[in-house]
Chain A
Amino acid sequence: MLSIRGLRQTFNPGTVNEVRALQGVDLALADGQFVIVLGMNGSGKSTLLNAVAGTFLPDHGKIEIAGHDVTRWPEHKRARLVGRVFQNPLGGTAPNMSIAENFAMAARRGRARGLTWALSRDLMDDLRARVSTLRMGLEGRLDNAIGSLSGGQRQALTLLMATWLRPSLLLLDEHTAALDPKSADQVITLSDEIIRREKLTTLMVTHSMQQAVSLGDRIIMMHRGRVLHDIQGAEKKRLRAEDLLDRFDEVRRREQLDEPAAALLQELYV
């Protein structure tokens, strides 16, 4: 469903702020696969997601989604295939517009927007039914500005909006990191529910080991712009949070040495 080959991206090349964010990422996701992306700060997780979403066009490499080569597609064109939830709970909704209007826009994700009525009766009926499944009591407040809701509520609605039209690929970028623990739990449960029910191909970035272990059917761990570990199948099922922490420690130990020293040690002892 998603295929990434030889993806490279350097920000601010040739300056002191040069960041080699992606250094050759290869990744293929099967249809319906739910993949967790782990990694320390600056490992390139979010850059990877942004490259897939089209926030920037990469220096090298190729990205295919659902059989389309989208490498040169602008962000808004990729929206036809991709549903997204951002880390910032304010990022995925238009605060001064009503809940219903936000959904009217989500119901046209990636499609032509003409001069037909945005809030049709069909949409409103459908909307009330689906929003009530969130059990947040929002179905009676569809005309309220979405900015008046809590971060957790907004994130749950953004998730519902991103999956309103079934996306070929769902991107979740640390979408519970900015929420309080209770809301985070709610949103995670909801995400898992929707992804399982709709069998959505998903890339989810997280910092939570617990989420990584309990969710999804594959974990990729990124380090310095590359995929360092790829854990799937039976190994993923057996995996405990401590195992992941061990792997992080290993990365951290290696981080203490500079790159040439690490390479030298590896050559001598491995």
Chain B
Amino acid sequence: MTLLLGAFTIGLILALLAMGVLISFRIFSMPDITTDGSITLGAAVAAVLLVKGHNPVVATAAGAVAGAAAGALTGILHTKFKINALLAGILVMTALYSVNLNVMGRSNVPLMQHTSFATWGEQLGQKLFRAEYIDLAGWRVASGDLTLLLLSLLAATAVGVVLFLFFRTHLGTAMRATGDNAQMIRALGANVETHLILGLALSNGLVALSGALLAQYQGFADAQMGIGMIVWGLASVIIGEALTGSRSLGVTIIGAVMGSVLFRLLVAIALRWGLDPNDLKLVTAVFVFAALVLPGFAKKLRRVPSAA
């Protein structure tokens, strides 16, 4: 049960990453690999500040802002210096690897001994349930774990709602149009370059927020934790679309959250059944490949008999 609770919690924390990837990949049609660097950057900045004894709110916010800056940098490289979008992301991601090591001062910063959201969550759990362990539908679960799950759900919901509202404002609507038809929104007086920079900042800000929270939940920040996270985000977004079958704004946001949680559960189950953790990234990549290719393939199969 603890395993399941943990999978749910991590799934919800990574839902923030999935929503970030949703912005870059679906709204701006740009797979932004800065993600791999900015999730670690968010974790690193938050971890270092927590170790120095800063308030978890401040540390987490600082992590998110750092990620947003990294995203903005990718946007600037792409729009102002006309570097290919993918390459701009690769450059920033590569640079961030060194930045992250410099921020942390070593490759791993443990947080177990320091006050973080995780500590707060456990304390809140004690207060709410007045016991260390409680009975949940016949399962014995730690009240702290349950509280952290609820807090993650709250965070994912809040971010999802804010994102939905933002993309229904004048600015947000114009940003969506930037990905849909740049010529059109330029002719209507929007600065497409600024929108893209803003969008990537928002995307990577969410990714870094996810990283900052993940570090606090798992109790450490690590220089390697970002590897392959863009693919993880893509998998979540794609699963979400398969689950909801819709491309409308609100539903895709909910879909990304559901996709992230489901994907994490699948991974937990696979690992439980004996999948070698070393193979995890390979399996994820193959999965995303299949998810990208199969819909088109299925359409082709369906078309052949009707043509005959």
Enumerate chain A residues within 8 angstroms of B185, measured Cβ to Cβ. 94, 105
Interface bracket on B: 20 to 34
Within 8 A of A (CB), among B165-200: 166, 168-174, 176-177, 180-181, 183-192
Which of B170, B181, B183 sits near A113, CB closer than 8 Å? Answer: B170
Is the CB–CB distance between B171 and A94 below 8 Å? no
CB nearest neighbor in A for B166: A115
CA distance A86 to B184 in the complex (A): 9
Interface string of B184-221 (1 = CB under 8 A from A): 11111111100000000000000000000000000000
Is the CB–CB distance between B174 and A96 below 8 Å? no
Flag whether A24 is at the interface (Cβ < 8 A). no
Is the CB–CB distance between B189 and A95 below 8 Å? no
A contact residues, total (Cβ < 8 Å) = 34
A-B contact count (CB 8 A): 90
Shortest CB distance A121–B (Å) = 14
CA distance A96 to B252 in the complex (A): 13
* Chain A interface, DSSP helix/strand/loop, else mixed: loop
Is the CB–CB distance between A110 and B184 below 8 Å? no
CB nearest neighbor in A for B178: A94
CB nearest neighbor in A for B194: A76
* Chain B interface, DSSP helix/strand/loop, else mixed: helix
With A94-B177, A119-B168 already in contact, the answer to whether A108 and B189 are too (CB < 8 A) is yes
Enumerate chain B residues within 8 angstroms of A75, measured Cβ to Cβ. 186-187
Which of B169, B170, B173, B188 sits near A79, CB closer than 8 Å? Answer: B188
Flag whether B127 is at the interface (Cβ < 8 A). no
CA distance A119 to B176 in the complex (A): 14
Flag whether B247 is at the interface (Cβ < 8 A). yes
Flag whether A77 is at the interface (Cβ < 8 A). yes
Which of A86, A105, A116 sits near B174, CB closer than 8 Å? Answer: A105
CA distance A101 to B249 in the complex (A): 12
With A76-B186, A76-B189 already in contact, the answer to whether A94 and B181 are too (CB < 8 A) is yes
Shortest CB distance B285–A (Å) = 28
Is the CB–CB distance between A91 and B171 below 8 Å? no
Shortest CB distance B192–A (Å) = 7
Interface string of A80-118 (1 = CB under 8 A from B): 100010100011111111000110111011110111111
Q: B interface vs A, CB < 8 Å?
A: 166, 168-174, 176-177, 180-181, 183-192, 247
Can you give 8 A-B contacts (C-beta < 8 A)?
A: A75-B187, A76-B190, A79-B189, A80-B189, A86-B183, A95-B181, A97-B173, A110-B188
